[in-house]
Amino acid sequence: MTGTHWDPAAPPSQAGRTVVVTGGNAGIGYFTSEQLARAGARGVLASRSRERADAAAAAIRTQVPDADIGFVQLDLTSLASVARAAARIRELGPVHALVNNAGLVISPPRRRVTEDGIELLVGGNFFGHFALTAQVFDALAPDGRVVGLGSMSTRMVRLDQRDLLSVRRYGPFRAYALSKHLVHGFAFELDRRLRAAGDTRRSLLAHPGFAVTALAAQRPGVTEQAAWRRIAERVLMPIAGQGKDAGAWPTVRAVTDPDAESGTFFGPDRVLKGAPVETAPVRSSSSPEFGAQLWALAERLTNVRFDL
């Protein structure tokens, strides 16, 4: 059991450790990268846009002048791009944490697919990360961690194992929530397989609660918003929500807490906001039966074997 006392402003030193954060150029991913850089980690921003990653790296260096920040180009909706990114990450040497943070939040009004023919939300939010993790796994240090970004949306939309790709019925929020059920299922199945193999690496999960940009510390080039949206978030969200900088705390704890066991799920202590504490997932997407089904499906749709 992981301890409940944790100071988000003072995580343990990460000096000498390399952490790859997908989508590390924006939102929760940016603040995860900044906080880990402050703790001394060598950060790698894996994202589609070099320009946006450069802006994020510059913003991090305004806060942490000696930050070591790299870039790997990655488009999670393209399995070819994922393979190229994985090859580049393997060249970096031992990776101590792979944070599978990137994801589509604003769903298209109608069903769309990735270039590989997979429904867009589950393709980008889960299947791309599955393929990346499988192809990077051998580069993880013996004490390395894989951290998935979960969501409370799994409590709002029931898992439909017969329609994970939204073929029979598509709804924007439903597709998003299904993608997060898959993220959860993978994290717990990876934990089970690591334990069964006696592997010392760890699989963890974190969710940010209800986190918005306007309530976070502002970073030029990273947190810009339309004026109306910024005002609306500042006026309407403080009671229920928190800034994306605080939303990054559960992920940072999952990466850095030396006592965090594989299989731990961190989230805010007040459900939607607050300090990061251990929380519980919904039963359906954390079940061994779903995990085994999901693993087989992921290998088939990505054509990537993940033997563990």
- Look up the CATH number of the domain holding residue 259: 3.40.50.720
Q: Which of 271, 42, 261, 286 is nearest to 145 (CA)?
A: 261
* 240-252 confidence digits (pLDDT tens): 899 999 999 999 9
Q: Which of 231, 301, 299, 240 is nearest to 271 (CA)?
A: 240
Question: Is residue 176 among the annotated active site residues?
Answer: yes
Q: What is the pTM of this model?
A: 0.96
CA dist 165 and 209 (Å) reads: 25
CA dist 20 and 25 (Å) reads: 11
- Contact by Cβ (8 Å): 25, 54: no
Highest mean pLDDT among 216-220, 238-242, 257-261: 257-261
**Residue 11 placed within a domain:** no
Q: Which of 175, 240, 238 is nearest to 209 (CA)?
A: 240
How many domains in the chain? 1
- Strand partners of residue 20: 44, 98
Residue bearing the bigger pLDDT, 235 or 48: 48
- Contact by Cβ (8 Å): 43, 35: no
* 50-83 confidence digits (pLDDT tens): 999 999 999 999 999 999 999 999 999 999 999 9
Residue numbers of the domain that contains 201: 18-302
* Residues in contact with 120: Cβ distance below 8 Å, sequence separation at least 6, in sequence order: 77, 104, 107, 108, 111, 112, 113, 114, 175
- Out of 127, 137, 176, 265, the active site residue is 176
Mean pLDDT of 101-120: 94
Q: What does R_g of the chain's alpha carbons equal in angstroms?
A: 18
* 139-159 confidence digits (pLDDT tens): 999 999 999 999 999 999 999
Give the confidence band of 16 by pLDDT, cuts at 50, 70, 90: very high
CA dist 106 and 170 (Å) reads: 14
Mean pLDDT of 247-271: 97
**Residue 308 placed within a domain:** no
**Residue 10 placed within a domain:** no
**Residue 282 placed within a domain:** yes
Amino acid type, 277: V
pLDDT of residue 4: 57
- Contact by Cβ (8 Å): 161, 293: yes
pLDDT of residue 1: 42
Q: Which of 57, 207, 69, 74 is nearest to 136 (CA)?
A: 74
